[in-house]
C-alpha cells in the first residue's frame, strides 16, 4: 500500500506544483524570460490569505479569493512597471534583454522577501484550514482534509485555465501572442494588454497555490524559494513555454519525487530535480514532450 | 578599423586608472582607521569586490549571465578547507589548489553550457550552484555539512589581511586590464555583442567562452578561499543564492562591463549595508530596490553616471 500512497501523494503535490509552473510557462511563452520572482507571488498569496484570515478575521473561504486578487494585482503591477522595456523597442540597451529580465526579477524577488520580512516579521505563520476534518479516507488511503480540498481546488483551477486558453477569445489571444508577438499584433491583438493579462493570471495562480498550501506549510518570507525551483525544473521538463507540457511534467515530477524521497534519499531530493533540469537543458532543450505540445 | 580599438583602449585605460585610484584610497585607510571592526568590514567588501570582478568578466564583458559566482566562491573556500581538514595541507598549497580547482570546474561548466544562452544559461548555472550547495551541505562525513569547516588563518594581524586583500585586488585588476586590452578582451566583447558574427569572423568562440568561464570562476574561487582563511570558517551559506544576488547587485549598481564598477559597487553596497543594518535592518530592501531602479532607469550604473557627468561639462565648454 505504500506505493499507492506515495503515488497519490505525489500526484497531489504535482497538482500544487502545476499551479505555479503553468504561470511560469505562460510568462516564458509571451516574453521568453524566466520570472525569478515567481516564488514570491506564491509567498505573497500565502501571506495575503493568512493575514486576511488571522488579523482581519475574514472567513477562510473569503480570504482565498482575496489572496487571488492580491496575486493578480501584484502580477499586473510587475508587468506594467518592470516588463514593458522588454518589448517596447529598447533593443539598443547596453544591458541586454535577457540580462535585464534576470536582474529585475531577481531583484524583485529579494525586494519582496525582505519587505515581507520587515513588515510582517520573519516568523512562520500558521494559516487557518478550509475544512476542519483532519483525516479523510479515500478507499485505502488516508488523506489530510486540507490537502484533499486544496488538491480538488487546484485541479479545478487547472481545468479552468485549460478551457480558458483553448476556448475563450482572450485565451486564444494569449496563445497567438506566445506564438508570434508581431504577427498577433498585426492581426489586431493588443499584445501589451495580453502580456499584462498573462502576468495577472500567473500571479493569481501562484498566489492561490500559496494560499491553499498555507495551512500545511506555515509560510515564512522565504517560503517561495522551494516551489520556485520546482517550477523551473517543471517548465524545462515540459518544454519552456508549453502550458500543457508544464501540467504533465508537474504530475511526473510530483510522483517521481515522492518515490525518490522514500526509496533513494530525502536529503538529495531537491538536487535530483535540478540535475534533471540540467540534463534536459543540455540534451533535450525542447523538453521531454518535444515540439508537438508547444502550442503555447 | 583603427579608431575603434583605440577608443576602447582609451576608455579602458581611464577605467583602470580610476579603479586603481579607488584601491589606492582603500590602501590608505588603515593609516587613519585602526578599529578592527571597520577593517573587517572593508576586508569583506574587498572579498565581494573580487567576486564581483570575476562575475563581471563573465557577465559584463563576455555576456554569459551565470548565476553561480557565490557557488564558486564556496567551492574555492571548501577546496582549501577540505585539503586542510583531510590532508593537513598547508595554505601555500591550499590556496593555489582552490584557484586550480575552481578554474577547472568553471571551465568544465563553461564547456557544458556552451550552446545555452539567456534564460537557459541562467537556469543551468543556477541549478549547478544549488546542486553544489545541497551536496556540500548534505555530505556530513566528508564536509561536516552545515556545521562548516574550520580553516587555519594565514596570519594573525588584521592589517596584514587587509593589505593581502588590497594586493590581490590590484593583481586581479591588472590581469583583467591586460587581458581586456589585448586580443582576448576584444574577442570576449565580440562574443558578447554578437556570438554568431564573432564566430563567422574566425574567433574561436568555444575556446574563448570556456576561458572566460575558467578565469571568472577562478577569481571567485580565490576570493572564497581567502575569505575562508580570514573568517577561519567555511559553510555552505557562502554559496546561497542570496550571496549571488548581492554580487549581481554590486556589479549592476556599480556598472556592468567596467573595471571600476564592480569594485565601487562592492564597496558602496557593503559599507552602506553596515550602516543600514544599524538603521533598522533595511539594507536588503534598499539594495533590491536600488538594483531594480538602476537596471530600469540608469542601466550603466554609478560608473556610467560618473563618466557622463565628467564628459558633459567638457562638451558644454566646447560648445561655448
Q: Please, which residues 227-246 of chain A have a Cβ atom closer than 8 Å to chain B?
A: 229, 232, 236, 240
CB contact under 8 A, A104 and B241: no
Name the minimum distance, in Å, from the CA of A59 to any CA of chain B.
32
Partner B contacted by A94 (CB < 8 A): yes
Cα B295 to Cα A32, B247, B267, B300, B308: the distances in Å are: 18, 14, 19, 8, 17
What pLDDT is recorded for position A74?
94
Confidence of residue B171 (pLDDT cuts 50, 70, 90): very high
**ipTM tops the 0.90 cut:** no
**Model pLDDT, residue B318:** 43
B108 contact A CB<8A: no
Residue B320, pLDDT above cutoff 80? no
Chain A residues with CB under 8 Å of B299 CB are 93-95, 100
For residue B312, give how far its alpha carbon lies from the nearest alpha carbon of chain A (Å): 20
Contact A166, A160 (CB under 8 A): no
C-alpha cell at A162: 485549460
- Specify the length of chain B in residues: 320
CB-CB neighbors (< 8 A) of B248 in chain A: 103, 106
SS3 of A23-42: HHHHHHHHHCCCCCCHHHHH
How far off is chain B from A167, nearest CA to CA, in Å? Answer: 30
pLDDT tens track for B220-272: 999 999 999 888 888 888 888 888 988 998 998 898 888 999 999 999 988 88
Contact B131 A278 (CB under 8 A): yes
Give the per-residue pLDDT at A296: 45
Nearest-by-CA chain A residue for B299? A95
Residue B315 has pLDDT above 60, yes or no: no
Please give the Cα distance from B154 to A148 (Å, whole number).
57
Contacts of A108 in chain B (CB under 8 A): 288, 292
Q: Nearest CA of chain A to the CA of B61: how many Å?
A: 11
Contacts with A97 from chain B: Cβ below 8 Å: 118
* DSSP class of B245: H
What Rg, from alpha-carbon coordinates, does chain B have?
20
A266 touches chain B (CB under 8 A): no
Calculate what percentage of chain B has a pLDDT beyond 90.
Answer: 28
SS3 of residue B34 by DSSP: coil
Confidence label for B319 from pLDDT (cuts 50, 70 and 90):
very low
Contacts of A58 (CB under 8 A, 6+ apart): A52, A66
| Partner A, chain B 10-69, Cβ-Cβ below 8 Å | 59, 63, 65, 67
Q: Is A270 on the interface with B (CB under 8 A)?
A: yes
Q: Which pLDDT does position B60 carry in this prediction?
A: 86
Interface contact A108-B288, CB threshold 8 A = yes
Average pLDDT for chain B: 85
Residues of chain A with Cβ-Cβ distance to B249 below 8 Å are 107, 110
CB contact under 8 A, B130 and A271: yes
Q: With an 8 Å Cβ cutoff, are A103 and B295 in contact?
A: yes
DSSP string, chain A: -HHHHHHHHHHHHHHHHHHHHHHHHHHHHHH----TTHHHHHHHHHHHHHHHHHHS---HHHHHHHHHHHHHHHHHHHIIIIIGGGTTT-TT-SS-HHHHHHHHHHHHHHHHHHHHHHHT-SS---PPPS----EEEETTEEEEHHHHHHHHHHHHHHHHHHHHHHHSHHHHHHHHHHH-HHHHHHTT--HHHHHHHHHHHHHHHHHHHHHHHHHHH---TTTTHHHHHHHHHHHHHT-TT-HHHHHHHHHHHHHHHHHHHHHT-STTHHHHHHHHHHHHHHH-TT-TT-GGGTT-
What does the pLDDT look like over B75-134, one tens digit per residue?
999 998 888 888 887 887 888 898 999 999 999 998 888 878 778 888 889 888 988 888
What span, in angstroms and rounded, lies between the C-alpha atoms of B203 and B191? 9
Q: Is B122 on the interface with A (CB under 8 A)?
A: yes
Evaluate if residue B18 carries a pLDDT over 60.
yes
DSSP-based three-state secondary structure for B234: strand
The angle formed by the CA atoms of residues A120, A124 and A126, to the nearest 5 degrees, is: 105
Report the Cα B113 to chain-centroid distance in Å: 20
Task: Specify the pLDDT at position A1.
Answer: 66
Give the chain A residue whose CA is nearest to the CA of B300.
A94
**Cβ–Cβ of A94/B257 closer than 8 Å?**
yes
SS3 annotation, A150-185: HHHHHHHHHHHHHHHHHHCHHHHHHHHHHHCHHHHH
- Which of B67, B120, B300 has its CB closest to that of A281? B120
The answer to whether B206 contacts chain A (CB < 8 Å) is no
Q: Which pLDDT belongs to residue B310?
A: 73
pLDDT at A90: 53
Q: Supply A79's cell numbers.
A: 508587468
Enter the pTM of the model. Answer: 0.86
Residues of chain A with pLDDT under 70: 1, 89-96, 133-134, 138-139, 289-296
CA distance B12 to B305: 16
Residue B248 has its nearest CB partner, among A32, A106, A271, at A106
Q: How many beta-carbon contacts under 8 Å exist across A and B?
A: 121
CB-CB: which of A33, A118, A285 is closest to B282? A118
Q: What is the pLDDT of residues B208-224, one digit of tens each?
A: 999 999 999 999 999 99
Short-list B263, B261, B256, B252, CA closest to B287 = B252
Amino acid at each position: 500500500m505504500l506505493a499507492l500512497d506515495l503515488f497519490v501523494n505525489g500526484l497531489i503535490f504535482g497538482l500544487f506544483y502545476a499551479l505555479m509552473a503553468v504561470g511560469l510557462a505562460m510568462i516564458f511563452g509571451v516574453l521568453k524570460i524566466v520570472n525569478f520572482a515567481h516564488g514570491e507571488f506564491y509567498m505573497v498569496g500565502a501571506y495575503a490569505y493568512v493575514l486576511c484570515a488571522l488579523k482581519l478575521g475574514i472567513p477562510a473561504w473569503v480570504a482565498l479569493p482575496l489572496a487571488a486578487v492580491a496575486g493578480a494585482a501584484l502580477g499586473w503591477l510587475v508587468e506594467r512597471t518592470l516588463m514593458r522595456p522588454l518589448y517596447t523597442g529598447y533593443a539598443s540597451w547596453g544591458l541586454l534583454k535577457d540580462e535585464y529580465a534576470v536582474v529585475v526579477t531577481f531583484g524583485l524577488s529579494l525586494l519582496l522577501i525582505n519587505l515581507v520580512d520587515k513588515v510582517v516579521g520573519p516568523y512562520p505563520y500558521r494559516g487557518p484550514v478550509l475544512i476542519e476534518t483532519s483525516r479523510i479516507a479515500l478507499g485505502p488511503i488516508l488523506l489530510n482534509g486540507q490537502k484533499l480540498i486544496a488538491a480538488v481546488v487546484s485541479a479545478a483551477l487547472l481545468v479552468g485555465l485549460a478551457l480558458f486558453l483553448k476556448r475563450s477569445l482572450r485565451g486564444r489571444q494569449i496563445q497567438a501572442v506566445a506564438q508570434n508577438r508581431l504577427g498577433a499584433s498585426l492581426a489586431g491583438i493588443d499584445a501589451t494588454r495580453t502580456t499584462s493579462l498573462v502576468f495577472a493570471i500567473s500571479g493569481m495562480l501562484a498566489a492561490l497555490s500559496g494560499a491553499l498550501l498555507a495551512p500545511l506549510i506555515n509560510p515564512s518570507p522565504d517560503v517561495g524559494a522551494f516551489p520556485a525551483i520546482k517550477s523551473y525544473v517543471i517548465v524545462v521538463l515540459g518544454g519552456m513555454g508549453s502550458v500543457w507540457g508544464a501540467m504533465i511534467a508537474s504530475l511526473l515530477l510530483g510522483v517521481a519525487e515522492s518515490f525518490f524521497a522514500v526509496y533513494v534519499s530525502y536529503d538529495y531530493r531537491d538536487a535530483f530535480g535540478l540535475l534533471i533540469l540540467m540534463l534536459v537543458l543540455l540534451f533535450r532543450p525542447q523538453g521531454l514532450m518535444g515540439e508537438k505540445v508547444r502550442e503555447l | 578599423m583603427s579608431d575603434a580599438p583605440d577608443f576602447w583602449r582609451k576608455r579602458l585605460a581611464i577605467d583602470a586608472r580610476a579603479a586603481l585610484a579607488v584601491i589606492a584610497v582603500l590602501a590608505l585607510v588603515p593609516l587613519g582607521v585602526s578599529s578592527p571592526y571597520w577593517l573587517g568590514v572593508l576586508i569583506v567588501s574587498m572579498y565581494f569586490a573580487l567576486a564581483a570582478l570575476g562575475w563581471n568578466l563573465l557577465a559584463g564583458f563576455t555576456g554569459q549571465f551565470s548565476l553561480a559566482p557565490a557557488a564558486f566562491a564556496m567551492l574555492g573556500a571548501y577546496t582549501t578547507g577540505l585539503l586542510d581538514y583531510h590532508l593537513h595541507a598547508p595554505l601555500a598549497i591550499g590556496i593555489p589548489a582552490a584557484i586550480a580547482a575552481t578554474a577547472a570546474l568553471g571551465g568544465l561548466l563553461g564547456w557544458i553550457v556552451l550552446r545555452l544562452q539567456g534564460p537557459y544559461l541562467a537556469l543551468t548555472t543556477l541549478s549547478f550552484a544549488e546542486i553544489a550547495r545541497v551536496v556540500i551541505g548534505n555530505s556530513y562525513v566528508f564536509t561536516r555539512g552545515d556545521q562548516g569547516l574550520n580553516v587555519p588563518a594565514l596570519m594573525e594581524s588584521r592589517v596584514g589581511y587587509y593589505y593581502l586583500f588590497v594586493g590581490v585586488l590590484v593583481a586581479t585588476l591588472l590581469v583583467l586590464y591586460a587581458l581586456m586590452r589585448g586580443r582576448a578582451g576584444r574577442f570576449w566583447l565580440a562574443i558578447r555583442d554578437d556570438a554568431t558574427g564573432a564566430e563567422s569572423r574566425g574567433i574561436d568562440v568555444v575556446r574563448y567562452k570556456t576561458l572566460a568561464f575558467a578565469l571568472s570562476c577562478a577569481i571567485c574561487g580565490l576570493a572564497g578561499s581567502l575569505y575562508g582563511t580570514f573568517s577561519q570558517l567555511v559553510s555552505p551559506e557562502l554559496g546561497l543564492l542570496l550571496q549571488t544576488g548581492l554580487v549581481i547587485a554590486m556589479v549592476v549598481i556599480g556598472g556592468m562591463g567596467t573595471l571600476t564598477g564592480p569594485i565601487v559597487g562592492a564597496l558602496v553596497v557593503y559599507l552602506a549595508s553596515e550602516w543600514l543594518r544599524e538603521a533598522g535592518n533595511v539594507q536588503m530592501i534598499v539594495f533590491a530596490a536600488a538594483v531594480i531602479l538602476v537596471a530600469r532607469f540608469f542601466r550603466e550604473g554609478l560608473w556610467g553616471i560618473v563618466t557622463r557627468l565628467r564628459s558633459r561639462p567638457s562638451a558644454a565648454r566646447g560648445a561655448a
